[in-house]
Amino acid sequence: MKTTTILTVVGARPQFIKAAAVSRAIRASADFHEVMVHTGQHFDEMMSDVFFRELEIGKPEVNLAINGGSHGAMTGQMLEGIERCLIDRRPSWVMVYGDTNSTLAGALAAAKLHIPVVHVEAGLRSFNRRMPEEVNRVVTDHVSALLLSPTMIGVRNLESEGITRGVHHVGDVMYDAMLHAQKSSRESSTILSELGLAEGSYAIATVHRAENTDDPVRLQKVMSAIDETAAGLPVVMPVHPRTRQAVERHSTKLGSIRTIDPVGYIDMVRLLDGATVVLTDSGGLQKEAYFARRPCVTLRDETEWTETLEHGWNRLWTTPDWQPRSDIVDYGTGQAAEAVLDAIRQHRH
């Protein structure tokens, strides 16, 4: 009997991908039922709809269509909208992912109504409170009942903030998602031939963090660094809408970087699989580069995914060399979604 209702709050691209893995496990379970609420933070065909279609996530039952505006305005509207859904549905759990405004709003709305929150991707820290994502992570973790961390470093970060109850290391649901997409991407994606790219002879780049896009000088530095690091390799960059606007606003020079519209996940996994090197400020891509066993250069001054640095698959743009390479066991074996559901089953309020 599907007696336990989980209300999942998603809103941004990486959350659709992570939620796809857990939703699949929920559908296959005998005891869980899911209500999906989309805040609308990411909203168009290529930032949202394509993921629901390709990853076979059911259409969200509710779409709050909240996007744009300042952090406070957006989060405030989300809080109000999510609270209404929670009062209406009275779920047993609210599930949130990662570190966006949708994560924070979902967690806060639930905690105030005494509905237990499960935070998937808990415990990550950049230790840079100027990042909006860091504030979202810290607050979300402190109001969550169940804190599911992809890494042991995450577990230790929580411990050092005094959070030990309800903490589990479950592995990375993004690894589940990527393994699932990899097979069909090799069979069905035609993106390499569409773009005229040869397997193993191009770099893939993404830039979207506010810390890189908001300041024109910094944005130019990042784009120039991509061009230089690729050292003559063709660079393909699916451009996030925020970055597209910033590049136009600041007339940023892109050198030989070839920009394309954002792509769906199946094409993205194919692009990653065929790349020589990954250049990114994305959290997700740093790990996906490792999953595809491609070296990564992170275009930031710190990262939450420090094990990717220690195991030699990733380096910060300020550090010239990679450490010697070894496998990262923390991310698990592609069964993290099952571990998420088991942790909920075992939780005693």
Helix (H, G, I), strand (E, B) or coil at 290: helix
Give the residue with the Cβ less far from ligand UDP, 145 or 266: 266
Spacing of C-alpha 67 from chain mean position: 18
The residue within the footprint of ligand UDP, chosen from 81, 123, 238, 334 (CB under 6 A), is 238
Question: For ligand UDP, which is the closer residue by CB, 19 or 145?
Answer: 19
The CB-of-164 to ligand UDP minimum distance in angstroms stands at: 26
Instruction: Give all strands (DSSP E) within 4-109, no chain letters.
Output: 4-10, 32-38, 62-63, 93-97
Rounded least distance, CB 205 to ligand UDP, Å: 10
Residue found under tokens 């550090």: 319
Q: Is 240 an annotated catalytic residue?
A: no
103 binds ligand UDP (CB under 6 A): no
Residue with tokens 């769906």: 264
**Residues 283-342 contacting ligand UDP, CB under 6 A:** 283-285, 288
With binding defined as CB under 6 A, does residue 14 bind ligand UDP?
yes
Q: Would you give the distance in Å from CA 138 to the centre of its chain?
A: 16
**Residue 193: CB minimum distance to ligand UDP, A:** 18
Which of 38, 42, 119, 208 is flagged as catalytic? 208
Angle at 107 between CA 337 and CA 143, to 5 degrees: 100
Smallest gap from residue 143 Cβ to ligand UDP (A): 20
- Quote the distance between the C-alpha of residue 7 and its chain's center: 19
Is 170 or 263 the residue whose CB approaches ligand UDP more closely? 263
Cβ atoms of residues 139 and 104 within 8 Å: yes
Q: Does residue 270 touch ligand UDP according to CB under 6 A?
A: no
- Residue appearing with tokens 């050198």: 255
The interaxial angle of helices 13-28 and 173-188, nearest 10 deg, is: 100
Where does this chain bind ligand UDP (CB under 6 A)? 13-14, 17, 206, 208, 238, 262-263, 265, 268, 282-285, 288
Residue positions annotated with a catalytic role:
208
